[in-house]
Amino acid sequence: VFSVMNYLLPKKGIFSMHCSANVGVDGDSAIFFGLSGTGKTTLSADPNRKLIGDDEHGWSDKGIFNIEGGCYAKCINLSKEHEPEIYGAIKFGALVENVVMDDETREFDFDDDSLTENTRVGYPVDYISNAELSGMAPTPKTVIFLTADAFGVLPPVSKLTSAQAMYHFISGYTAKVAGTEVGVKDPEATFSACFGGPFLAWHPAKYAELLADKLAKHGAQTWLVNTGWSGGAYGVGSRIKLKYTRAIIDAIHSGALEKVATVEDPVFGFAVPTSCPEVPADILQPRNTWSDKANFDDKARKVASLFRENFKKYEAGTSAEVRAAGPKL
């Protein structure tokens, strides 16, 4: 159904999106793009905001709307403390996959990854206590791209121009790590156009142009949020703490990050905030967290080259401005 919608909606000028969405008390909606394991479901299930949906939406000039009506969350290491909304949704009627359960107590062990790290739970959206059951919300002013950069070179948060938003939307970058996907033992870059390649019916540039049109028409700002590694690549560094990512998301929602001074990332060209409430300033510049600066520079150039190589297949359908918005080598 989503593939069909990806064909039909753009013909009507409606932007079809593989994303999650939520809305604040003031009607300030936000959308979250991201591939598996980046935190799309986790970060949109916010106790302070109403969930619209966690995977498939449309964006018209009247606002955004949910297409599906259900949620599908990863639940490895799930806890009531860190993800209360998702934890509370696991009740009669929810479908739990790949999670080890005690035969006698019938209790789940969410920390057990003996079957796979890719454990899941599916449930109706109304299992989230503060869901927006209309499935609709006003036009968003905030667009968030989520990536789990296992190479540890992307900043925890970056502010994107419209051209950069189109470039990174078309790229759809994250990294698979051991345990998340079958057969993956080491970090591996993966690109899925528009964060939903298998569902696309048109050239990715068509969806990127719809994104740019909505951003311009409604004055929305795009942010790239890295939920991956800091202080080194996977196996050396550590995953950015969820509480820091939540603080970053909160600062985006509140408008606090809009007012913060930024510096330009020398390789990727992002505007990187120099401070964020409740987040240590030193982790905002990823190079500062690496003990081996030369190794960081090599790794950043490697990731930049992967972006450029991947984007070659889309160059013919994109403008010179978008092509120029990619990383520099």
Q: What is the average pLDDT across 176-182? A: 60
Q: What is the pLDDT of residue 181?
A: 52
HEC secondary structure over the chain: CHHHHHHHHHHCCCEEEEEEEEECCCCCEEEEECCCCCCHHHHHCCCCCEEEECCEEEEECCEEEECCCEEEEECCCCCCCCCHHHHHHCCCCCEEECCEECCCCCCEECCCCCCCCCCEEEEEHHHCCCECCCCEECCCCEEEEEECCCCCCCCCEEEECHHHHHHHHHHCEEEECECCECCCCCCEEEECHHHCHHHCCCCHHHHHHHHHHHHHHHCCEEEEEECCEECCCCCCCEECCHHHHHHHHHHHHHCHHHHCCEEECCCCCCEEECCECCECHHHHCHHHHCCCHHHHHHHHHHHHHHHHHHHHHHHHHCCHHHHCCCCCC
Q: What is the pLDDT of residue 69?
A: 83
Question: 176 versus 160: which is more confidently predicted?
Answer: 160
pTM score above 0.85? yes
Token pair, residue 329, equals 């080598």
User: Which residue type, as a one-letter code, is found at position 329?
Assistant: L
pLDDT exceeds 60 at position 183: no
Please, which pLDDT band fits residue 185 given cuts at 50, 70 and 90?
low
Q: What is the average pLDDT across 236-241? A: 95
pLDDT exceeds 70 at position 77: yes
d(CA 184, CA 255): 38
Within 10 Å of residue 202's Cβ, how many Cβ atoms? 16
Please, which pLDDT band fits residue 176 given cuts at 50, 70 and 90?
confident
DSSP SS3 for 69: coil
Q: What is the pLDDT of residue 187?
A: 78
Question: 37 versus 105: which is more confidently predicted?
Answer: 105
pLDDT exceeds 90 at position 179: no
d(CA 21, CA 66): 8
DSSP SS3 for 199: helix
Q: What is the pLDDT of residue 169?
A: 98
Q: What is the pLDDT of residues 284-298, one digit of tens each?
A: 999 999 999 999 999
Q: What is the pLDDT of residue 317?
A: 87
Handedness of CA 36, 41, 44, 46 (dihedral sign): negative
| pLDDT, averaged across the chain | 94
d(CA 104, CA 122): 23
- For 278-304, b where at least 16 C-beta lie within 10 A, e where not — what string? ebeeebbebeebbeeeeebeebbeebb
